[in-house]
Amino acid sequence: MALSSAFSSTDTARWGVALVFAIVYLGMFLGGLPRLKLDRSGVALLGAIAVIALSGIPLEEAAQSVNLPTIVLLFAFMVVSAQMRMGGFYTEVTRRVGALPLSRAGLLAALIVVAGVLSAVFSNDIVCLAMTPVVARLCLRRGLHPVPFLLGLACAANIGSAATLIGNPQNMLIGSVLQLPFGSYLKAAVLPVGVSLLLLWAWLAFGPGARAGAPVPSRPPERIPGAGDEAPFDRWQTTKGLTVAVLLMGVFLFTDWNREVAALVGAAVLLLSRRLHSADVMGYVDWPLLLLFIGLFVVNHAFAQTGLANEAVAWLGAQGVHLSEPGALLVVGTLLSNLVSNVPAVMLLLPHLGADPAAAGIRLALVSTFAGNLLLVGSIANLIVADLAAKEGITLDWKRHAVTGLPVTVVSLAAVWWLA
């Protein structure tokens, strides 16, 4: 029985799916479900199973609700990022930046630019994972307070990832669903991103706490396997990964070739290696994130078929809140991105962008990404930096993050309002 006909024959399935949808997004907000050993990916998977069972949706229809181009593009760039990490690229770049004879403000500027540029092409989470321990130790050796530099790394990685349609998962989703041209998006995003990075640097270089000395770590660094233990720099593997990344950027910018197929070919080239085992590369692929996407696609599709989403959007419209308008999208996108995380927020908002989805999609990509800097829990990149900083004996809690995250987010969103 088709999903729509199942709903027409019984309200039980309709409201059952609505209940599952609400529980799944509660799990997105909480990061899991109380008393259950479930993370967001587990909640999304069980939610998908539940809506299939409740509604009678055929498995074929459930599979068709998954946006395969988004999954493919995300997987391919996970492989590219794995290649760069296994080649020691991120750590080597950070060390070279740290070795430059720069002032405190100059070092902050260099770090912010490097983190922002790398995150526009590679995963911002991977950039933070690889760079955080190196940045923390570099600051302590040079007698600099590490917290502003770590905040600069996290915020710049989030901001920089908004510059392209491959910088983060939500941008990949928006680009694939709306078929946004890569070059057009880059042209629209580069100015808000550049302004936001500049203001981030100014705040950290000259704002509150800029002159504080380096604190003594609260405890000796923990040597935990996998926490900052990056591979040694391998020039050949790094060159191979960079070549594929540059070629893919060229394909995206200057050709009309299918982005997902090109990215898959690039990933296949990297997997053809005599030195890096494919199983090791696959170990760096974020399979739970892919599972999260798949589960949410199915849950959102089932919920859309109940008609409740359209009713909610119509009600908002009657109250004067139209998601196609920049102001409404900015406020709703920011709130949802901090409540349920940016990927689920984007999935909820994408079907309701109005008559000009391309323009609204660009704003949504920028807003959902910039909003990740508002709270420490607003993005995985922030949490990665805080967690690895703690392993180095450095405390980066929500209060310290808010001193930078709140003003930076407000200014970034203002840049979206005026420039995008």
Q: What is the pLDDT of residue 219?
A: 54
pLDDT tens digits, one per residue of 89-123: 988 998 999 888 999 999 999 999 999 999 999 88
- Flag whether pLDDT at 224 surpasses 50: no
Q: Is 144 helix (H, G, I), strand (E, B) or coil?
A: strand
Domain residue ranges in the chain: 3-419
For residue 321, the model assigns a pLDDT of 83
User: Whose CA is closest to 95, among 211, 220, 206, 230?
Assistant: 230
Q: What is the mean pLDDT of residues 302-313?
A: 86
pLDDT above 70 (res 212): no
Cα 350 from Cα 363, distance rounded (Å): 11
Residue 291: what pLDDT? Answer: 93
What would the two tokens of residue 200 be? 């981030």
- Residue 215 is predicted with a pLDDT of 60
What is the structure's pLDDT at 298? 95
- Band (226; pLDDT cuts 50, 70, 90): very low
Triad 24, 51, 5: Cα angle to 5°:
140
- Per DSSP, the three-state class of 137 is helix
Give the residue-averaged pLDDT of 34-39.
90
Measured in whole angstroms, the distance separating CA 6 from the mean position of its chain's CA atoms is 36
Q: Name the amino acid, one letter, at 11.
A: D
Whether residue 197 has pLDDT greater than 90: yes
What tens digit of pLDDT does each residue of 365-408 get?
Answer: 999 999 999 988 788 888 889 988 988 889 888 888 898 999 99
Helix axes 398-419, 146-161, angle to 10 degrees: 30
Closest CA to 83 of 255, 263, 227, 291: 263
Q: Which residues pair with 213 in a beta bridge?
A: 144
Closest to 115 in 3D by CA, of 69, 68, 172, 162 = 162
> 193-231 b/e with 16+ CB inside 10 Å = b?
bbbbbebbbebbbeeeeeeeeeeebeeebeeeeebbebb
Q: State how far Cα 293 lies from the chain centre.
A: 12
Whether 213 has a pLDDT exceeding 70, the answer reads no
Per-residue three-class SS string for 29-41: HHCCCCCCCCCHH
Among residues 323, 367, 368, 301, the alpha carbon closest in space to that of 341 is found at 368
pLDDT 10s digits, 264-282: 999 999 999 888 889 999 9
Q: Read off the pLDDT band of 170 (50, 70, 90).
A: very high
| Length, in residues, of the chain | 420
Average pLDDT, the chain: 88
Contact 239, 269 (CB under 8 A): no
CA atoms of 32 and 376, how far apart (whole Å): 17
pLDDT band at 130 (very low <50, low <70, confident <90, very high): confident
Evaluate if residue 1 carries a pLDDT over 80: no
